[in-house]
């Protein structure tokens, strides 16, 4: 049988390179910031930010980013993906400049929120442009490269951040984005073609607004719950209110003539099962990345650069295995590859249960490498399964749903696993801090970084406090890692039950049957 012609864009691989750079700058920014937290808390070399302000420097970005991802994916499909990519890059560059020269924690938090707006415009259109410029037969390989870039950015961010902090002031971790954005803007303008849904129908204004309100409410509730406890009235009102609005959004989308999201897609295992796999993976893994940074810099006393270098095996694993995951899916099927990936990430979390203050460096390197191999074999096949369930003109919806789940799950993982970490830490450290004055005792009980700050002014008694804080943190980290492993074990079962097998996984050219024609007319 004669091979059909390749329908991809002639410059598709150059376009992919531009999109990967655009994606790198967004994902890399969050991981760069993780190694700068200790510097930002320094009143001399940083901004003197409190623990709560540090969390909001991260979470203001996450809140806006997660809240707008879905809407921007839908609007990019309608008004032009290249246009949204250019606007998003420009906003991200401007906000990076404002972050670099912030004079107070409040200014930094506000600038980070603006970065979230730019990131939300960039992230979904990168994946939807890939779906439009690549032939379905090459799309899996291209998405493997895209997924590898996500993992690479997660890992090289701490290395870049550590290098910058050793030679420059803290604002350099944001300022580095500006020249990359300028190059990206020029490359996008010259290389990336414009694309949009040719039959968009009427815009679902109510649905778009409901998605923003629901996602912002849910994400805010998750973040505040991680800070103050999930039983607080503000947390319950915003979190449960967000869930209620999202439930109303689903009901509305199932009945409106021109839905932003055809909720019937979730009836298909090819769409819903990989979304669940991505969500559970980032729930567990981002929680680990969050507390492992404190473990490496405080308990093990590694510099920001050394901490970043210890994450390097994760990046190497992503570079090696993510581009090859498409071939693995073709050979073994999405079910087997995704379940294996989830099992490897689970194994890496179990490894953290056995980590202590004297664990050999080779063990840490191996554990991060195993985690990287696992995530490389989850992200690419799961993302390809999601995107192949939609026709090209609806690519932004699939990308936005996938990335929204990833962001909300990351926030949920940091909040819930962080709450486990904080609760166990407090229970372990309190017997040691009973003799301290009230305000100082509360700071030491709040976090390991707070205990280190108290210990620095406590003279000889500070050594005992640091030892107790390290022991309390290690116990808390073991509980959090164990909780993440249990969550991922549920994901393994879900993948084995609902992910498509080898034959279905290989046959990914056609969208899910009922959607192709109906979605094109539904807009």
Main-chain phi, psi angles of 288, to 5 degrees: -65, -45
pTM as predicted: 0.73
- The whole-number pLDDT of residue 58 equals 76
Other Cβ atoms less than 10 A from the Cβ of 333: the count is: 20
- CA 296 – CA 291 distance, rounded (Å): 9
Task: Give Cβ neighbours of residue 93 (< 8 Å, ≥ 6 apart).
Answer: 118, 177, 178, 181, 182, 185
What mean pLDDT, rounded, does the chain reach? 78
Helix (H/G/I), strand (E/B), else coil: 213: helix
**pLDDT band with cut points at 50, 70 and 90 for residue 369:** very high
Measure the N-to-C terminal CA separation of the chain; round to a whole number of Å.
35
- The whole-number pLDDT of residue 343 equals 93
- The whole-number pLDDT of residue 507 equals 42
Q: List pLDDT tens digits, range 320-337.
A: 887 777 778 778 887 888
- CA 91 – CA 345 distance, rounded (Å): 34
For the domain made up of 10-193, give the CATH fold. Answer: Growth Hormone; Chain: A; (1.20.1250)
* Rounded average pLDDT over 333-343: 86
Question: 211 and 45 in contact (C-beta within 8 Å)?
Answer: no
- CA 413 – CA 105 distance, rounded (Å): 24
**pLDDT band with cut points at 50, 70 and 90 for residue 6:** low
Task: Give Cβ neighbours of residue 121 (< 8 Å, ≥ 6 apart).
Answer: 68, 72, 76, 84, 85, 87, 88, 91
Of the segments 167-181, 318-332, 459-473, 507-521, which one has the largest average pLDDT value? 167-181
> How far is residue 167 from each of residues 35, 98, 162, 298, measured CA to CA in Å?
14, 21, 9, 20
Instruction: Please tell me what DSSP assigns to residue 460.
Output: T
Question: 51 and 449 in contact (C-beta within 8 Å)?
Answer: yes
Question: Is 517 a residue whose pLDDT tops 70?
Answer: no
For the ranges 88-102, 181-195, 272-286, the lowest mean pLDDT is seen at 272-286
Q: What would the CATH number be for the domain defined by 262-501?
A: 1.20.1250.20
- The whole-number pLDDT of residue 151 equals 66
Q: List pLDDT tens digits, range 177-235.
A: 888 899 889 988 888 888 777 666 667 778 778 877 887 788 778 777 766 777 788 88
Give the alpha-carbon dihedral of 427, 48, 309, 370, to 10 degrees. Answer: 40
Please list the residue range(s) of the chain that carry CATH number 1.20.1250.20.
10-193, 262-501
- CA 388 – CA 398 distance, rounded (Å): 9
């Amino acid at each position: 049988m004669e091979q059909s012609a390749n329908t991809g864009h002639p410059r598709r691989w150059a376009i992919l390179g531009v999109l990967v750079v655009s994606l790198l700058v967004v994902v890399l920014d969050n991981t760069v910031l993780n190694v700068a937290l200790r510097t930002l808390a320094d009143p001399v070399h940083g901004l003197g930010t409190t623990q709560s302000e540090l969390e909001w420097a991260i979470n203001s970005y996450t809140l806006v980013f997660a809240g707008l991802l879905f809407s921007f994916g839908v609007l990019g499909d309608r008004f032009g993906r290249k246009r949204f990519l250019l606007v998003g890059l420009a906003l991200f560059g401007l906000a990076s400049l404002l972050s670099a020269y912030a004079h107070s924690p409040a200014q930094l938090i506000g600038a980070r929120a603006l970065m979230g707006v730019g990131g939300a415009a960039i992230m979904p259109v990168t994946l939807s442009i890939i779906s439009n410029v690549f032939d379905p037969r090459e799309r899996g390989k291209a998405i493997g490269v895209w997924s590898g870039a996500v993992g690479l950015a997660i890992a090289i961010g701490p290395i870049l951040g550590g290098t910058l902090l050793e030679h420059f002031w803290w604002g350099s971790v944001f300022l580095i984005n500006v020249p990359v954005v300028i190059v990206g803007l020029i490359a996008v303008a010259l290389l990336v073609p414009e694309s949009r849904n040719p039959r968009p129908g009427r815009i679902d204004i109510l649905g778009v607004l409901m998605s923003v309100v629901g996602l912002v409410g849910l994400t805010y509730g998750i973040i505040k719950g991680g800070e103050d406890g999930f039983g607080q009235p503000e947390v319950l009102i915003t979190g449960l209110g967000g869930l209620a609005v999202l439930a109303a959004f689903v009901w509305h989308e199932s009945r409106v003539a021109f839905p932003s999201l055809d909720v019937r897609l979730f009836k298909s295992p090819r769409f819903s099962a990989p979304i669940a796999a991505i969500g559970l993976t980032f729930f567990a893994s981002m929680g680990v990345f969050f507390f492992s940074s404190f473990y490496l810099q405080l308990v093990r006393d590694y510099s920001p650069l050394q901490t970043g270098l210890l994450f390097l095996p994760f990046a190497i694993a992503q570079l090696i295995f993510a581009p090859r995951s498409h071939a693995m899916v073709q050979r073994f099927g999405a079910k087997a590859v995704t379940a294996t990936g989830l099992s490897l990430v689970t194994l890496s979390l179990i490894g953290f249960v056995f980590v202590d203050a004297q664990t050999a460096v080779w063990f840490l390197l191996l554990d991060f490498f195993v985690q990287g191999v696992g995530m490389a074999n989850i992200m690419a096949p799961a993302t390809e399964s999601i995107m192949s369930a939609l026709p090209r003109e609806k690519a932004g919806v699939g990308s936005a749903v996938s990335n929204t789940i990833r962001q909300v799950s990351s926030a949920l993982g940091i909040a819930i696993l962080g709450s486990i970490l904080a609760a166990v830490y407090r229970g372990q450290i309190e017997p040691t801090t009973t003799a301290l004055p009230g305000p100082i005792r509360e700071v030491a009980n709040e976090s390991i970084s707070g205990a280190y700050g108290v210990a620095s002014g406590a003279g000889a008694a500070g050594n005992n406090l640091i030892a107790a804080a390290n022991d309390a943190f290690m116990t808390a980290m073991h509980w959090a890692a164990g909780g993440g492993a249990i969550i991922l074990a549920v994901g393994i079962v879900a993948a084995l039950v609902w992910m498509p097998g080898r034959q279905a996984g290989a046959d990914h050219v056609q969208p899910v049957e009922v959607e192709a024609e109906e979605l094109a007319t539904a807009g």
